[in-house]
Amino acid sequence: MACALGTAASRRFYTVRYIRLPDLLVEISVARANGTYRDYMKKLKKEKLLILDEWLLYPLKETETRDVLELVEVRNKVSFAIFCSQYNTSEWYENLYDPTLADAICDRIMYNAYTIQIEGESMRKRKAIPE
């Protein structure tokens, strides 16, 4: 569904970027290490729609949580984001390093968001090759 929304946005000439959260965190870490962190964050801010897949699939470390806060903050009320997660929003707090940082991140996301809960069997399972 997120990719379909991204495709629709792209067809309307919005800039769209799809990335898995683990890959994004690696890119941010590399940008920090080579001194291009600020430029990289500016680039992410300019993307009109950012689709983050595998959102909080595993617990984040402190630096990763701080990077996520910075990302959410620079994009807050400027750009759009889609967070694709296996968890309900109430469960996100558990995978963010610190309760205070978790509050800051979730406040910026959830109070300006629509939540779409998809239930039922996985599409991968339904579309799998029959045995």
Domain range list for the chain: 2-126
pLDDT of 106 reads 95
Where do the DSSP E strands lie in the chain? 16-20, 49-53, 80-83
pLDDT of 3 reads 93
Cα–Cα–Cα angle for 85, 88, 89, rounded to 5 degrees: 90
How many other CB atoms are there within 10 angstroms of residue 119's CB atom?
Answer: 4
Q: What is the pLDDT of residues 31-60, one digit of tens each?
A: 999 999 999 999 999 999 999 999 999 999
pLDDT of 96 reads 95
Quote the pTM value: 0.88
User: What value does the mean pLDDT take over residues 74-99?
Assistant: 92
18 half-sphere exposure, CB direction, 13 A CA radius: 12
Contact 3/51 with Cβ under 8 angstroms?
yes
pLDDT of 112 reads 83
Is pLDDT at 116 greater than 70 in this prediction?
A: yes
Q: Which CATH superfamily is domain 2-126 in?
A: P-loop containing nucleotide triphosphate hydrolases (3.40.50.300)
pLDDT of 123 reads 67
